[in-house]
Amino acid sequence: MASGTDGSMISISRLSPLVLTTAIFLGIIAPRNAQAEPLIADLSDHLVAITTGFTGTELLLFGSIEEDGDVIVVVHGPPTDVTVRRKERIAGIWMNRDSMTFEETPSFYHVAMTQGATEGLPLPVLHRHQIGAQNIRMIAPQGEDPVEIENFRSSLIRNQQAHGLYSAVPGTIQKRGQRLFRTSVYFPANVPIGTYVIETLLARNGEIQSGQTTPLFVSKVGAGAQIFRIANTFPALHGILAIIVAMAAGFAANWVFRKLG
């Protein structure tokens, strides 16, 4: 609860995400227990609803830190296995040749930070928190040539960046004074569904001094969700229904043409 200028109490929980975000960033109210916690962060929405006409969306992450410092935000999509294939030109035709599968690969990755946030942070810390695309954690196959692993790994990251699923350059975190911060995270139309983990870190004096994990859910809703569920749970039934719908559409079109003729 926060006190109004007239002595009344304002219920923070009753404010809309947009109003709450604006109020915190402008310094009208402070996050609950902001004085006691070194880092507090939240999202404007904890659900990205994928509908039939979904074209992408942008969420706002905002919060405050107890004292001056740098803020880093790392967003991880649900882990998945990704196979990277190398194409070679054979007899004038491009063909898939070698391939390599990386396990537990983030299906989505985004990083944002205040200016100079990684300066002074040792490489083990950057790797532990997966700060920067070069530090994304994934499991490479055993027994492969390290040079080949790095080549395929670099190709995987480039492919994900080309599809808008990995950030090519770090996003910017805006700060107001020494305490308040905010940043936007864009999720494209092809964003994978599942549970996302957003890690907000406070960096100071060459080390990570505090961190907070925030969940985010990306889910299909509406009729599209039912079709997606049937397709994944009962693939044979989905195929049969698709054939029936196609046949019905064909008969209907034929009937219309006959009537018009």
Structurally, at CATH architecture level, domain 9-221 sits in Sandwich (2.60)
The pLDDT score that the predictor gives to residue 3 is: 43
Tokens 């030109």 -> residue: 89
Give the span between the Cα atoms of 130 and 195, in whole angstroms: 18
- pLDDT for 98 equals 86
Sort strands 171-172 and 39-43 into parallel, antiparallel or unpaired. Answer: unpaired
Check residue 230 and give its pLDDT: 47
Domain layout of the chain by residue ranges: 9-221, 222-261
Predicted pLDDT at 83: 95
Q: What's the predicted TM-score (pTM) here?
A: 0.71
Q: CA nearest 56: which of 157, 164, 200?
A: 164
Contacts of 38 (CB under 8 A, 6+ apart): 65, 66, 67, 202, 209, 210
| Residue ranges, the chain, pLDDT below 70 | 1-36, 91-92, 94, 222-261
CB 74, CB 131: distance < 8 Å: yes
Q: Identify the CA nearest to 200 among candidates 109, 107, 113.
A: 113
**Between the CA of residue 183 and those of 13, 74, 171, what are the distances in Å?**
22, 11, 8
SS3 29: coil
Side chain identity at 244, as an amino acid letter?
A: I
CA 234/CA 232 separation, integer angstroms:
6
Bridge-partner residues for 184, per DSSP? 60
Q: Which of these, 92, 133, 140, 125, lies nearest to 109 by C-alpha position?
A: 133
Confidence (pLDDT) at 162: 96
pLDDT for the residue 66: 87
